[in-house]
Amino acid sequence: MKRVSLLLAICFVLGLVMVNAAQADEYYGGTIISGYQKVVGPYPSPFFDATKKLGRGLLNMGTAPIELIKQPIVEAEKGESVGEFMTGLIYGTFAGVAWTFYRELDGVYEVVTWYLPSLEPAITPEYIF
């Protein structure tokens, strides 16, 4: 269990570092200009795409268990009565398990294929937060 916790913590920290490094953008007049665009031009580099994808995958792998907490709360807040609240908690627990596996598998997919040139996320929302 300690190894799994350590692996999740490492994935989380590396994901935050990689995503922030890939998204080192500046705002000029309401337009986002990346450091790469200032030097080369309007097209992001393949390295920019790869690091963003790798960071997103690591972050999703590290934060996937948070879905177990998030989904019951989201579903319970939809209810207006006590019965709907309890139903939301029960349904949200199952939804949390499903979303955890979905986000974890998406993270694994993006880490394994980080070098491929697609930047579109396979999951919506892109990050859990």
Q: What is the pLDDT along the chain (129 residues), one digit of tens a residue?
A: 777 677 777 766 666 665 555 444 444 455 555 554 444 445 556 566 778 888 889 999 999 999 999 999 999 999 888 889 999 999 999 999 999 999 999 999 999 988 887 767 888 888 888
**36: its two tokens:** 């790469």
The CA distance from 11 to 25, in Å, is 23
CA distance 61 to 104: 5
pTM: 0.65
Structure tokens, 7: 């692996």
DSSP 27: E
Neighbours of 43 (CB within 10 A): 9
| Sole residue written with tokens 């350590």 | 6
The predicted pLDDT at position 35 comes to 52
What is the pLDDT at residue 28? 46
